[in-house]
Amino acid sequence: MTEQNTNSPYRMRLPRPNYLPHNIEADIDDESIVQQYKPLGRPSRREEEAYIKKVRRFAEEYRITKPQGYNVSFHYNPAMEKHHFGQTHPMKPWRLTLTKSLVNAYGMNYAMDNYHPRAATFDELTTFHTKDYIDFLATVAPQPTPLDVDNPNPDLKFNLGGSDCPLFEGLYNYCSMSGGASLDAARKICNKQSDIAIAWGGGLHHAKKTEASGFCYVNDIVIAILQLLRVHARVLYIDIDVHHGDGVEEAFLSTDRVMTVSFHKYDPQVFFPGTGALEDNGPKNELNPGAHHAINVPLNDGITDEQYEWLFQTIISQVVAKFRPEAIALQCGADSLAGDRLGKFNLLVEGHGACVEYCKKLGIPMIMFGGGGYTPRNVARAWAYETAIAIGQHKNIPSEIPEHTSWRDRFRQTTLLPSIEEILGEPRTNKNTPKKLQDIVQHVSEQLRFVEQAPSVQYSIIPPDLGPIREEVEHRLREEAEEREENRRDREEGVGVRGEL
């Protein structure tokens, strides 16, 4: 074995068990994923049973039942919560813990098919990313301090190891779990087990084919859309994160089978990633199939619910009428909410959720991804409320956060839908004039004139199969599911099922 270069800022280590394609014997230790943090305390069995009883009573009282006429699935791996990007890093996987606490406290889990997806394999991650990149991501050792702390211009390999994309403990596992949840959601849409599939652990839209970017290492959205394209001829990608969905747009820049629409703040001099101008509409060469298939909606600080909802519905209605998608991939980044650590909009949970509600009414199979969001309590509120929209219960659940909600004190206000005054004190200055919004709509309408009406697609050019899943992995998962039977009693008792009147 060759000796490592001691001058290199990177160190390599043996890969994790889910890094499957290489037959490397590795001694895997039992260390916690983040050694310097003690695990959260576990409730006793009695406390857990009491909590479940409260949730059941709540679900029965407010008639939280499965929706009629369509199916919603929830794809979530709780092991993602344990990871930590760093003490000062804006990305906090803790937001997933708060989201889950709200979703469960409202009894929404009884109204959905709940899946514990496995981590994506190396072969699945490399359906989009290069093997060299995933090889490095899986084997590079964690760095306790970002490489750009002492050196402002470090030579970062694959853009990994800096303050934006640090090498934290358990990084590859975190990425593969995120990718696995989104891929599982896409498969449930493809085989018609779900009409709406939710993957709040996904939505990492900045990652590129060969590098990490903007807190994103693996582009789970692109991997999921590639899966959708195996069955659906045209997929519409919609992004309501405050940052431009550059990674997804770039991935599908030269195809007419995916149209990307991104609503985001645009200030290229100071705001990441600095792309997504109104005039950026795909390749300039008219002979390229992807020309005019990238729609960008650049916004300024301070946009309100009313403006955002009008703009969203006006543009998406035109896009759907022209492109006629067979599936929708909706990235619900919550950093576009008022009070976000990075975003500066005036959107409330209701305004953000109105976009989800509009897409749901279209009746097109849809995946709902997570994304950005750097004030965890607001992220959790938005994604819980949008889960309620997906199951058709957002008008039935009380706005007061249930008393039995785990971590209830972390939400500050006890309401699910705080006002702008409760969040900010006073709204931010709105820099979006009516003329600016009208100009955006006019430009989008002009671009759509060049899009062929519902382009026909021969299935011979649909991307190849993502590769057969290893039989031993699927066999093990089936055995675990049979042993667990977590929801057997609930099914027998009929919790979440509409009763006869």
Q: Which two tokens stand for residue 228?
A: 């959708």
Could you identify the residue written with the tokens 């607001």?
Answer: 378
Q: Which two tokens stand for residue 124?
A: 């699945």
3-class SS of residue 56: helix
Binding-site members are 164, 214, 241, 243, 335, 374
Which of 84, 205, 206, 244 is an active site residue? Answer: 206
Q: Which two tokens stand for residue 424?
A: 């900010």
Binding-site members for substrate are 164, 214, 374
Angle, helices 220-228/171-190, rounded to nearest 10 degrees: 20
C-alpha pair distances (Å), 370 with each of 44, 67, 332, 394, 484? 31, 22, 5, 18, 27
Rounded-to-integer distance, Cα 308 and Cα 297, Å: 11
Rounded-to-integer distance, Cα 441 and Cα 431, Å: 17
C-alpha pair distances (Å), 298 with each of 14, 161, 224, 344? 44, 30, 25, 14
Rounded-to-integer distance, Cα 439 and Cα 435, Å: 6
CB atoms inside a 10 Å sphere around CB 342: 16
Strand partners, 295: 261
Radius of gyration (C-alpha) of the chain in whole angstroms: 22
Could you identify the residue written with the tokens 């093997």?
Answer: 131
Question: Which amino acid, residue 449?
Answer: R
Residues 6+ apart with CB under 8 A from 117: 75, 76, 77, 177, 180, 181, 183, 184, 185
475 annotated active-site: no
Rounded-to-integer distance, Cα 477 and Cα 480, Å: 5
Sign of CA dihedral 411, 414, 418, 423: negative
Residues 6+ apart with CB under 8 A from 101: 380, 405, 406, 407, 408
Binding-site members for a divalent metal cation are 241, 243, 335
| Nearest one of 224, 208, 204, 27 to 120, comparing CA atoms | 224
C-alpha pair distances (Å), 214 with each of 150, 178, 371? 20, 16, 11
Residues serving a catalytic function are: 206
